[in-house]
Structure formats: C-alpha cells, structure tokens
Amino acid sequence: MTQDEKKQAVAEAALEYVESGTVIGVGTGSTANFFIDGLGRIKGKLDGAVASSEATAERLKQNGIPVLDLNATGGLALYVDGADESNRYLHLIKGGGGALTREKIVAAASEKFVCIADDSKLVDVLGTFPLPIEVIPLARSYVARQIVQLGGTPVLREGFTTDNGNIILDVHNLEILNPAEIEENLDRIVGVVTNGLFAKRPADVLLLGGDSGVTKLD
C-alpha cells in the first residue's frame, strides 16, 4: 500500500464516527483532505463543520459542506485531524502544515478527537519530527533564545505566515520524554502563541493505516 492509500483508508474509517445532525471539527493536511472529500459524499448527514484553517474551510466549501464559526456552534461532538507524530499514549506532534493553533482550539472544544495517520507516524518517543511553535513576530529572537536554553534548536520556517499572521519556529533536537510537561513549559514563554504538542489534550482514538489495514489505538 502507498502512503496515500493508507491515508485514504484511515480517512474512510473515520467517517464511521460522524453522527447524523451534528457539527464536527475538521483538521488540516493531506490526511484530513481525504477525510473532507469523504465527508462530501455524506454531507447530508452533517449540519456543518468548523475548519482548523483557511485551506480546510476552502476544501469543505468545495465539497458543499457549510463552514461554521466555533463561536456560534459551541462545543463539538467530534474532531478529526492528522498528525506528524504520535506515541502510544496518543500524545501528538502537530503543526507540520502550520495550523496548530486553530487545530488545538478546535480539539479542545471537541468531546472526541479521532486522529488519522499512516503508520509511519507512530513513534516510541516524540521529537524526531521538529516541533512547530507559533510565535508572535516581535518575539521571534526572544523565544528562540528561551528554546535554546531548554535544549532545542529553533529554525525559522522561511516564507511562511500562519492564518493568524504569526511565524513558525520548528524546533529540532528535542527528546520529548515528558510531553505534557514540555507542552506546559513552552506555553509559558512570553510570545509563544501555541506549541505543536498535543499531550494535555491528546487524541482519544488513533486510526493508523498500515499494509494490513486500519488499526485502532485508544
């Protein structure tokens, strides 16, 4: 199976979690895109969706799915999104696509977070994938120095601005043995908007696509 076929398979499996008459949260990235295209086929079931990025909003609209404002919907029953890495406790690194802040907000507002990924994303210890951190532009150098003190190597994502008008620092060389503690410590740095660790609010279910089909971890 190709990586795309694995992504497609988990996206199809995630459609089973969509209940009639609900509004759901939808993530960002290539795996989430397979899910959005699948949603297009069952759009009659949905009252609408909250998007975690402008790109996702656009794709939802192309599929005929009403895009709603989280401030108007209140809490969501379900959030479906991909990840850059997951450990076996369903702590995630996200933000490879730069949408981490809105993704974290929509995940926080959702009762159930179903993460969908191909099996290359499952790791023993998080941190091989550089950890994305969204930063207020004025704070770039200050935040970078604080991250170096924590043992990381921050690299500016060149030519990239988030949907919120901020920059991303991708942090290399972090061995993330205690994800919730590191998430908390990074959030305490002034100028950090969000970091890409999803440990305080991990996924509830991880659907992993592999050569022998879809495996569910929860």
Site of interaction with ligand 5RP (CB under 6 A): 27-32, 81-84, 94-100, 103
Closer residue to ligand 5RP (CB): 27 or 154: 27
Select 17 or 142, whichever has its Cβ closest to ligand 5RP. 17
State the Cα–Cα distance between residues 112 and 24, nearest whole angstrom. Answer: 10
One of 12, 54, 85, 103 is an active-site residue; which one? 103
Unique residue bearing structure tokens 């008008």: 165
Cα 88 to Cα 12, 36, 115, 178, 199: the distances in Å are 22, 26, 12, 13, 12
- Angle at which helix 30-41 crosses helix 3-15, to 10 degrees, equals 50
CA distance 143 to 196: 15
Identify which of residues 141 and 161 has a Cβ nearer to ligand 5RP in the complex: 161
* Distance of closest approach, residue 136 Cβ to ligand 5RP, in angstroms: 18
Nearest of 60, 115, 66 to residue 86 by alpha carbon: 115
Nearest approach, Cβ of residue 93 and ligand 5RP (Å)? 8
d(CA 18, CA 41): 12
- In the complex, the smallest distance separating the C-beta of residue 132 from ligand 5RP, rounded to whole angstroms, is 7
176, 181, 187, 189 alpha-carbon torsion, rounded to 10°: -90
Is 103 catalytic? The answer is yes
- Minimum distance from residue 149 beta carbon to ligand 5RP (Å): 26
For ligand 5RP, which is the closer residue by CB, 145 or 172? 172
Q: How far is the CB of 102 from ligand 5RP (least distance, A)?
A: 9
End-to-end CA distance of the chain: 24
Q: Which is nearer to ligand 5RP, 29 or 152 (CB)?
A: 29
Active-site residue set: 103
